Amino acid sequence: MNQIPRFLFILLIAAIPVSNKAADFGTTGLIDIPTARMMDDGEFKIAMSRQTVADIYSLNYQVTPWLESTFRYTIFNPDKVAGSGDNLFDRSYEVKLRLIRERRLFPQVALGIRDVLGTGAWGSEYLVATKSIGAFDLTLGTGWGRMAERSSFSNPLTNIADSFETRNAEVGRGGKVSFGNFFSGPDVGVYGGFSYELENWNTKFLVEYNSDSFQRERRFGTIPDASPVSYGIEWEPTPGFALGLNRQQGNQTGFYISASLNTKNEAPRRTQNLVVPVSSNLAQEVMGAELNTWYGNLLIDVESNGMLLRSATLSPDQKSVSFELSNQQYGLMADGINRFLTLAEIHAPPQIETIEIILNEGGIRTNAVSYQRQFGDRPRTWLDPEDLIEITPGAPLVNPSSRTRYRIPNVAFGADLSTRLSLFDPDKPARYQVMLKTTAAMDLGNYFSLFATYNWDIDNDFDTIRRGPSSRLPEVRTNIARYLKEGDTGLDSLYLQRKGNLGRDLYYRAYTGYLEEMYAGIGGEFLYSPFSSRLAFGFNLNWVKQRDFDKDFDLLDYSVVTGHVSAYWATPWYNYDLAIHAGQYLAKDVGATIEVRRTFDNGWMVGAFATFTNVSAEDFGEGSFDKGLFFRVPLDQILPGNTRASYTNTIRSIQRDGGQALNGFGTSLWYDLRPTRYDALNNYKLRMVPGA
């Protein structure tokens, strides 16, 4: 199972305990105004608010302990108020930076920009302080832009530069950073408020004074004159799930709901009893007699516990043994290693002192784990448990003493009830498809694999999805509407793939076939990732041709050579990975993509990307350049048992043709190998030790 319905995802995360603070705009605050509070590091929140002025949908992520980010989608005038001329669908990004942490005598202080990348409809900046006093949490802030409409004093920044005097209040098309507007304008507003918590009731009372007078919405006739005072109540029936009801601006009733979880939580450690097998399912034959007796018993146990034992070599003095192992079941690699070492302690001859595990990820040998055995003839009880584990470079075993011959071909089938969402279409913010997703993966031997995905439509509302206004580029992605409708039932992918090593630290992936729902072709990716280095470099090259809209085996005329050179950096800060990919994209435009991902060892990933090419903003169309968010949810934190399955999604503020790459091919190898990367393994050495 690699996908779950999105509405089920929201319900599931709502049940996961984590502290939560909600606000209409997604960013941590009271009702409409932001506070200096932050969520917990790594917290991810989904929120929706409803009021007469706007429906606001938001994704909020605590990027670091001191930086909060929000992606916001706003539907202005959702009730279609009679006489209102407001019909804007707006996308905006907000960032909030903590400047000072709260102390006993000092408040917490934060600086924020409400509309970094957007039309400017919510354009405002703020400097805010928040202090807790008993059950009260008090906030006082100053605001620019919209938050200065109820002005209180002149902008002090005009004393630094005259450019701060003028602010462009015009709503644009979005996609550009309005540096000239930040903290600009002749006046500054003052806002504030407080919350009062009834701890035993999981309830807060909220009161705020908003320096935003909603001039824009009053000008359109959506609401009458607005009061600066709003008040409401917030209730958390369970940790991580919040409901709010409020009265805003003296003229409308608002409601919000939010659900959150902490992506930083340690992966669940499931210590269920070892599976006692009846017989081996996949292994047909063990080649080699020297280790055959105990190796065969270990093989059966290992396979029944979700792994493949491929080969082994016993040293001439029989003091050490090396295994080649593939993890098929465990979301956290350390848990699979722990399970294997536990089984090896049972089956390996007592004279063996050192056990080495060479990790094989789909044909690629990356790193190895060396374990100083605790229960052999010479137990090493004086060592710290972490010192029993060492991470070393991996290499294929040469002439192994024993080798498992697995059944070929071996086919695994899957079927899931899945969903697809088309978000942020200006005519309708969310369109859907419910489908039966069937998958097949066939192991052909020698690390060749055949993959297929076929979707069976159950229901969708893609009939009237908007196609324009399009860019001036070839329609390499904006014609997705026709694929979603004409190919609502059809073949999503059918391709042959091989992965492997070209030498130490040099890996490859080659593939050909119907690669994704819009493109077929042939290509390959190469990755140079030195042992224990935080830097890696990659290259990919693909020739692809556009598929027919009904997603059968026919192809259209459009073809392109696309490829990139890549540089990767596993930063030492907060598990952040950075990447830059430069090359040619599907529309034959040339440029570079910048990615930042926070990928936790528990499998959670949240990130953002932006692509800049030689296409002008006018030719690109609305949005100016390609950008978006992506995330991966490991299902072993939601479902019972161990699984490597995950739910992944990419969210773009708007779909255009510039800066578009193949989905799932070309720049994924470094991320695919992350579970066996040196730092990911080194972080969990203690968790690998049997009985620790």
Of the CA atoms within 13 Å of residue 480, those in its CB half-sphere come to 16
Average confidence score pLDDT of the chain = 88
Query: Terminal CA-to-CA distance of the chain, rounded, Å?
Result: 31
Cis peptide before 634 (omega within 30 of 0): no
The residue among 155 and 176 whose pLDDT is bigger is: 155
Provide the residue type at 304 as one letter: S
> In which band, very low, low, confident or very high, does the pLDDT at 13 lie, cut at 50, 70 and 90?
very low
Q: For residues 260 and 41, what is the distance between their CA atoms, to the nearest angstrom? A: 12
The mean-pLDDT minimum among 20-24, 581-585, 677-681 falls in 20-24
Written as one string, the DSSP assignment of 605-656 is: EEEEEEEEESS-HHHH-TTSSEEEEEEEEEGGGTSSS----EEEEEEESS--
The mean-pLDDT minimum among 277-286, 500-509, 561-570, 602-611 falls in 277-286
pLDDT at position 267: 67
pLDDT at position 430: 67
Instruction: Write out the two tokens for 444.
Output: 């052909």
pLDDT at position 291: 47
Q: For residues 403 and 417, what is the distance between their CA atoms, to the nearest angstrom? A: 39
Q: For residues 27 and 114, what is the distance between their CA atoms, to the nearest angstrom? A: 9
The mean-pLDDT minimum among 281-290, 317-326, 645-654 falls in 281-290
pLDDT at position 383: 65
> In which band, very low, low, confident or very high, does the pLDDT at 651 lie, cut at 50, 70 and 90?
confident
> In which band, very low, low, confident or very high, does the pLDDT at 561 lie, cut at 50, 70 and 90?
very high
Please state the separation of Cα 12 from the chain's center in Å.
17
pLDDT at 556 over 80: yes
**From the CB of residue 518, how many other CB atoms can be counted at a distance below 10 Å?**
25
Q: Are strands 108-113 and 89-100 parallel, antiparallel or unpaired?
A: antiparallel
Q: Are strands 283-287 and 448-460 parallel, antiparallel or unpaired?
A: unpaired
The mean-pLDDT minimum among 90-94, 523-527, 595-599 falls in 90-94
Query: Which among 268, 359, 307, 341 is positioned nearest to 602, based on CA atoms?
Result: 268
Average pLDDT over residues 227-242: 94
The mean-pLDDT minimum among 23-32, 279-288, 461-470, 506-515 falls in 461-470
The mean-pLDDT minimum among 182-186, 470-474, 574-578 falls in 470-474
> In which band, very low, low, confident or very high, does the pLDDT at 283 lie, cut at 50, 70 and 90?
confident
Where in the chain are all domains bearing CATH 2.40.160.40?
A: 21-262
422, exposed or middle or buried, with CB in 10 Å at 0-12, 13-18, 19+?
Answer: buried
Q: Are strands 67-76 and 89-100 parallel, antiparallel or unpaired?
A: antiparallel
Please list, in sequence order, all residues whose beta carbon lies within 8 angstroms of the beta carbon of residue 272, skipping any fewer than 6 positions away: none
Q: For residues 466 and 470, what is the distance between their CA atoms, to the nearest angstrom? A: 10
Contact 174, 142 (CB under 8 A): no
Instruction: Write out the two tokens for 44.
Output: 């991810």
Task: Say which residue the tokens 């990933």 belong to.
Answer: 605
At 573 the three-state DSSP class reads coil
pLDDT at position 625: 87
Please list, in sequence order, all residues whose beta carbon lies within 8 angstroms of the beta carbon of residue 100, skipping any fewer than 6 positions away: 106, 107, 108, 109
Backbone angles phi, psi at 278, to 5 degrees: -95, -45
Where in the chain are all domains bearing CATH 3.30.300?
A: 283-407
> In which band, very low, low, confident or very high, does the pLDDT at 265 lie, cut at 50, 70 and 90?
confident
| This prediction's pTM | 0.88
- 21-262, which class in CATH? mainly beta
The predicted-structure confidence for 55-98, as pLDDT tens digits, reads as follows 999 999 999 999 999 999 999 999 999 999 998 988 889 999 99
Q: For residues 690 and 683, what is the distance between their CA atoms, to the nearest angstrom? A: 16
> In which band, very low, low, confident or very high, does the pLDDT at 23 lie, cut at 50, 70 and 90?
confident
> In which band, very low, low, confident or very high, does the pLDDT at 471 lie, cut at 50, 70 and 90?
low
Backbone angles phi, psi at 640, to 5 degrees: -70, 155
Q: For residues 491 and 482, what is the distance between their CA atoms, to the nearest angstrom? A: 14
Tell me yes or no: is domain 283-407 CATH 3.30.1370: no
pLDDT at 559 over 90: yes
